[in-house]
């Protein structure tokens, strides 16, 4: 059935039959928003799922464990969760029948009237940069909502009943596939490396999805686009941008730019004024986090945050769990939880944040990637390697030649922590950066990281 969907903003939902596809946190938040706006809501998920205990969702009709194509064809509007592939037959049938299809991000953002939005995307560093930018707003005394692809669905910004000075959202390529009117005041693209190509087809398709973050921005509205000048894919986006572009890391000659010099973020305003911000926070160590900080500083200044607030926010940012998270310093040894490093590239990034004296705990369920890049990053840095899980033997063998001290298969995380305690000395670092998935020994990387924390905190 063909439906005319009225966009105010916000979208007019009263009286519509809405089908929410995907019954995770994003889908449930979208369902609440649609119910609040007077729609009748049905939700479907191909996976079996328990009905939510939230009484606010009691009115939702659930179809779980399957999709019924007629539910898609008969809806007035479909709201699709980002994890649902856009090419499933039921969505194609709905499109052919003229049913409008929106993502949760697009729906939610239509209700952000009057509140400026900063949206961040990229392949790596999105969550850290989003959380850091939120901290900069908080340090400025502003009430900020931080979410999107990071933790809290965008719909919660309007459902929680609070008024915000700014909304900071991490957005994924999946979410950007279904935007129509999404319009951030400042859009940030951190970097692009091959990812999700099974969904987007190739790098061109992936980059095109990411570029949708700024397609509604305009110079007339004073919008801004922040791009990584060191990344060829993101820098090329400046040519098609409909608004002012600003480069971080290396950006001389742009209206405003941010670069890294001697461990500081150097912000250069459009009028030539220069500001320097110290990066002494352990939560922002490593070249990748320096780049994240540069992007956050540039976006924050473009949003009008004052230098003092940015300096304070950079100092007190606590980082994110399981991402180069400093658990404790014990006997002069720092213990760092980087359990989120579930692939080789992420482990290389984590290891590269340290100069030398690293006892690396790595292993788990492998993904078929070569460990040669990790060996290259370990040269001169590794004091010891302790292999855990299924890939422990392979990792130990791959890193043995670049390790100054022992390279041992220890099997479990418990044994690794005990052996690392014996091997480490003051001024050194014990780093859990597994380069592998956790599924051989733990249900997810969070549980693995939490167990590491428990073991380290229990050290005598």
The residues annotated as belonging to the active site are 126, 149, 196
- Cα–Cα distance for residue pair 427/331, rounded to 1 Å: 9
Q: Residue 437 carries which DSSP code?
A: B
- Cα–Cα distance for residue pair 347/350, rounded to 1 Å: 5
Q: Residue 60 carries which DSSP code?
A: -
Is residue 112 classed as helix, strand or coil in its secondary structure? Answer: coil
**Residue bearing tokens 């929410």:** 20
Is residue 318 classed as helix, strand or coil in its secondary structure? Answer: coil
Are 220 and 214 in contact by the 8 Å Cβ rule? The answer is no
Are 383 and 428 in contact by the 8 Å Cβ rule? The answer is yes
Tell me the two tokens of residue 69: 């194509």
Q: Which residues pair with 187 in a beta bridge?
A: 119, 225
What are the DSSP calls for 382-429, one per residue? Answer: EEEEEEESTTHHHHHHHHGGG-SS-EEEEESHHHHHHHHHHH--TT-E
- Cα–Cα distance for residue pair 411/392, rounded to 1 Å: 7
Tell me the two tokens of residue 105: 């991000």
- Cα–Cα distance for residue pair 286/291, rounded to 1 Å: 9
Kindly report the backbone phi and psi dihedral angles of residue 253, in degrees, each rounded to the nearest multiple of 5, phi listed first: 95, -5
Tell me the two tokens of residue 123: 């392949």
- Furthest CA-CA distance within the chain: 69
Q: Which residues pair with 432 in a beta bridge?
A: 337, 361
Is residue 375 classed as helix, strand or coil in its secondary structure? Answer: helix
Alpha-carbon separation of residue 235 from 125, 190, 227, 246, 251 (angstroms) = 17, 10, 6, 10, 10
- Cα–Cα distance for residue pair 171/300, rounded to 1 Å: 17
């Amino acid at each position: 059935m063909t439906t005319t969907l009225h966009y105010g903003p916000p979208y007019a939902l009263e009286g519509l039959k809405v089908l929410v596809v995907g019954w995770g946190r994003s889908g449930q938040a979208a369902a609440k928003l649609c119910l609040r706006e007077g729609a009748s809501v049905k939700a479907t998920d191909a996976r079996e799922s328990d009905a939510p205990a939230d009484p606010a969702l009691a009115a939702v009709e659930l179809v779980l464990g399957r999709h019924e194509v007629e539910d898609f064809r008969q809806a007035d509007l479909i709201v699709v969760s980002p994890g649902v592939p856009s090419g499933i037959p039921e969505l194609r049938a709905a499109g052919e029948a003229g049913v409008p299809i929106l993502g949760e991000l697009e729906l939610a953002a239509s209700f952000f009237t009057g509140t400026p939005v900063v949206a961040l995307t990229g392949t790596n560093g999105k969550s850290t940069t989003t959380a850091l930018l939120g901290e900069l707003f908080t340090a400025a005394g502003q009430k900020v909502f931080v979410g999107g692809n990071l933790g809290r669905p965008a719909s919660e910004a309007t459902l929680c009943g609070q008024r915000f000075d700014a909304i900071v959202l991490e957005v994924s390529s999946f979410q950007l596939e279904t935007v129509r009117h999404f319009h951030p005041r400042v859009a940030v693209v951190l970097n692009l490396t091959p990812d999700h190509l099974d969904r987007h087809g190739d790098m061109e398709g992936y980059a095109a999805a990411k570029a949708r973050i700024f397609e509604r921005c305009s110079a007339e509205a004073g919008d801004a686009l922040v791009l990584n000048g060191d990344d060829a894919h993101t820098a090329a986006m400046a040519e098609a941008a409909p608004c002012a572009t600003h480069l971080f890391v290396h950006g001389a000659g742009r209206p405003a730019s941010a670069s890294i010099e001697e461990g500081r973020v150097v912000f250069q305003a459009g009028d030539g004024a220069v500001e320097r911000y110290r990066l002494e926070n352990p939560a922002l160590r490593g070249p990748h986090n320096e780049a994240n900080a540069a992007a956050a500083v540039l976006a924050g200044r473009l949003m009008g945050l004052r230098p003092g607030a940015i300096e304070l926010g950079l100092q007190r940012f606590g980082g994110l769990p399981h991402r180069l998270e400093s658990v404790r310093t014990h006997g002069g040894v720092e213990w760092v939880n980087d359990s989120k490093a579930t692939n080789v590239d992420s482990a290389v990034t984590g290891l590269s944040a340290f100069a030398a004296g690293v006892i690396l705990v790595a292993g788990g369920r492998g993904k078929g990637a070569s460990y040669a890049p990790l060996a290259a990053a370990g040269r001169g840095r590794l004091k010891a390697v302790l292999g855990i899980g299924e890939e422990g033997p392979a990792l130990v063998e791959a890193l043995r030649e670049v390790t100054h001290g022992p390279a041992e298969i220890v099997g479990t995380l418990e044994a690794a922590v005990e052996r690392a305690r014996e091997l480490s000395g003051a001024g050194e670092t014990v780093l859990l950066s597994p380069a592998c998935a956790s599924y051989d020994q733990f249900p997810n990387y969070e549980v693995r990281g939490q167990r590491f924390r428990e073991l380290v905190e229990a050290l005598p």
